[in-house]
Structures are given as structure tokens and as C-alpha cells.
A and B are shown apart, each in its own frame.
Chain A
């Protein structure tokens, strides 16, 4: 496929037109330049409309009502599950469990699978790059079970050091790692890592929060055991995410939260539990947001996940080129050097301007970036950074957005009197 940069940018601009918020301006009259999609993506109108449609036309509880709108809500809710299953190429729809977000999906595995299967002498392996959501649950699980927590080391650009992986994997029951680092953008070579983990007898949980929205993720091709992701980072609403788990694993796991909807029958003394996936979905589910996440999957599929990945590589390459022009003036860029080796995430610092001051000045120009530790405090300590600024891209990001970022950085240089 040969496409010129300008036609690519034209396509992204057409996509941006689908997102109402990207047509808005800040209180200072600046065009909203949204470069924080790694924290939360914006939502296309079809997703917003689906929420209004549900609440306006068929709001009802699911799995129990016999009347028409309850049946319609149940059908839409379960159809959305099937869409998510197709989106990550799960073998069965029942392998998708709704959660609030990635964090809850990881906690489900930690509490349900972890407490059942780990004992003193076992080990959990993770990496130095993890978001707190894929670190703290394993710290607590290790403390509760007596299992050991180990780390795959990372180079300064976020590349995992895999030379001693087989040694690290000895005695490991679970390897939990992020597909793409939310701080550095580096991509874990899952196709290389997962077979080695399986050979050592470990299951693999992939934190897909930064990858599922941005590139094709095929759980069967990669042979992933558990995959966690958040809807709000993939054009869906907040408050909905999912856990993928292989059916045999999920069938063998005890419930996590308990109560209504997850039972088959209940007596005063005991209960029998529902089938997968409902066994893990206690209480009334987030029906509206699950349906809207299904719509978001349709939207992303219509654009095409391979196109989204190619587009983000192009935009990231362009941003890296433009940012590098500021390096002689004190800009530091973190993460892998080549756009092909990273997600659409660029962390940086500018001379002695603290990331939060930088973000405040960029905000004046309508440019939204994240600043801080990105929920990766151990990684920040390891790198000896107190904070970084982070620009992140998505399918609607354009070269004009990158140009606005650069212009705002020039403004920051003036404010902070940087030559």
C-alpha cells in the first residue's frame, strides 16, 4: 500500500470529524489538540449516540425480564460481548468477561486464579515497565500466598532484557506483562516471550490497555492465556473493560465477586454458580457501556486496525522528527528511537522545565498532554526522572496536532527563557 503523507493526514482529519469533542475549542479560543489518548481516548458520535439510544429506547435489566425491551437489552449486551470476542479473535464469546477496566480485569485474575493456584515456592514474573495496575495486584498476591515476585529488567529505552528469561522463568506460575509500555511506548515481543513462558509451565497475562486500542491483537495467534483491556481507551465509554481468558482456565476458576446474576441456584446455606462468563459478573452489569463498547469495536473495525497502527507509526515518526529538532535546546526524548518499535506514545522533558509546568503552558495553547509519573513510579525512580510529559496519538491525530505541540513547546521555551 503506498499512500502519501498528506492523504494519510486527510483520512485522519476525516476520522477526527466523527468525534464531536475534537470540533470544540478551549475557553481561550484555541482548537482542542488532544494528545492524551493513552490516558483516555475520545469517543466518536456513534458511540455517544448508542448510549443515548439505550437509555432513551430500551433501558431495562438483562437476563431476567420477559418483556420486549428487556429482551432487546439482553440481546444487545450479549451481542456486544461477541463483538469484543471477534475484536481480539477469541475462540468463544464466553471467554470475554465484562469488567470496569483493565485494573479490575487484572484483579479478577489475581484474586480468583492467583489465590487458588499459588503457594510458597511459586513465582510471579512481571517487568520493570509495568503500570501500577499490573504491579500492585501481584505484590499483594505474593504477600498473601508466599509466592516470590520477580522482574524482567528493561533497558533505558524500554526494551526488555530477555537473555536471562529462561532462568527467570524457573518456578514461575504466571508471567504478567504489558504489551505496550504506557510511559515509554516500547512494545514487548510477545510472539517471542509467550512460547518461552509456556515451555517453562507459566501462564501469561497480557495487559493490553495500550495495545488493544492501537494494533491488531489476536489472542489465539499469540496464545495469550489472559488479556485485560479498557473500553475508554479504545473509543468506548468509561466504566467498561474486559478480561479475555481461555475457556478451560475460566471454567476452573472460582468466582471473584459474588451475589446476583452469577448464581445458578441459591439456598440459605449454599449456592451453585452460573456458567462462564456470567459466573464472574455479579450484580447488574454496566449494560449501556458494554453495548457502546461493542459499537466502538465496530467503529475501529470499519476504520481498520492495521490502518490505525500504520497511521500511528507515521504520526509518531513525524513527531519524533520534529521533536528531535528541539534536542539541541534541551529536549530529551525517551523510549525506542524508531517509530516502528513503539506505540504512539512519546515521553519527553524540556530543559529544566518540570513536566507539570510544561503541561500547564501547553494547555494554554489548547494542547492536552499528560505530565507526571504515568502510574509507573518504580520505573520513574529507576530512570531517575521525577516526571515526564507525554504526548500520545490515536486514529484521529494529525500532523497539524503535532505542529501545534511543537509551536506550544516553542512558547514554553520563551516563557522559561530557554535559548
Chain B
């Protein structure tokens, strides 16, 4: 976990990419993580070719939630909404690298959950989330 707070994580935390709002978003979702009080709102714009051509997010919370969301916005560019809706947690794990403790997994996955919810038009759930 001490390895987790790498230079690029802190950079995304302190200088989040694609932070702000879109004028005319195609799909929007927001959610919070009640454990940490992390909040993320994501706005997606889909072009005529069906691919995401712009993403903005706003949020506040821990470095893990905000940096992983910032990195995710870069990964979403060029994907279709059905592709976003079926993204697995691997996309976040690949972005942030190793070392997230199980207790902080929800922080890391908040941005992805919101992106998938925007793409689906309903709240996305994880297969392992039952009972939480």
C-alpha cells in the first residue's frame, strides 16, 4: 500500500485530467462511496460514430478514488457506451498498478462504477458486491 502512492497517482490526485463539466453530455451519472464520502460525477459525450469523444468528471475524495477516476477518463476516450458498460475492474487495476488494499477497493472502483452507470443508464453493480 505504501507503494501505491506513486508519483503519478499523486499527480493525478493533485492535477486531475478532464476535470469539469460538458456543455451537452450524452450520458451522465454520479455516485458516492459512503465509507469514505468520496463523490464522483461523470459526463460522457458520444460522437456521430458512436464513440466517446469527450469526458469530464467532478468529484472530491481520497487520492485513490480521484486519481483512478482521472486516469479512467483517459481510458474511456474512443470507446462506445456498450464497451464502457461491460468494462471489467481490470481497466482500473491496469491504470493504477498494484497494491490497493481490499479495504480501499471501493475507492478505486468508484469512477468505473459511475462510468458504467452512465453508459448503462442505471446504477452499475459488481458481481462481488452483494450484501455490502
Contacts and interface: CB of A to CB of B under 8 A. Distances in A.
A269 interface: no
Interface in A386-419: 386-387, 415-417
Given A386-B60, A416-B10, A417-B10, A356 B1 contact: no
B2 interface: yes
Contact of A356 (B2, B14, B107): B107
Contacts of B101: 360
A354 interface: yes
Contact of B1 (A352, A364, A372): A364
Contact of B36 (A356, A361, A364, A377): A356
Contacts of A361: 1-2, 5
Nearest to B2: A364
A373 interface: yes
B120 interface: no
Contacts of A357: 5, 62-64
B36 A372 contact: yes
A413 B46 CA distance: 41
Contacts of B103: 360
B35 interface: yes
Interface residues of A, number: 20
B1 A387 contact: no
B21 interface: no
A13 interface: no
A371 interface: yes
Nearest to A364: B2
Nearest to A388: B37
User: Interface size class for chain B?
Assistant: 10 to 19
A387 B104 contact: no
B36 A387 contact: yes
A417 B8 CA distance: 13
Contacts of A71: none
A380 interface: yes
A134 B127 CA distance: 34
B10 A356 contact: no
B61 interface: yes
Contact of B37 (A353, A360, A386, A417): A386
Contacts of B38: 356, 386
Given A357-B5, A360-B1, A415-B5, A380 B62 contact: no
Interface string B61-87: 111100000000000000000000000
A387 B2 contact: no
Nearest to B36: A356
Interface string B33-54: 0011111000000000000000
A322 to B, nearest CB: 23
B63 A373 contact: no
B7 to A, nearest CB: 9
Nearest to B107: A356
Shortest Cβ-Cβ A-B pairs, 8 listed: A354-B62, A356-B62, A356-B36, A357-B63, A387-B37, A386-B37, A415-B5, A357-B62
12 contacts: A353-B63, A354-B61, A356-B36, A356-B38, A357-B62, A360-B103, A361-B5, A371-B36, A377-B37, A386-B39, A387-B61, A417-B10
Interface of A: 352-357, 360-361, 363-364, 371-373, 377, 380, 386-387, 415-417
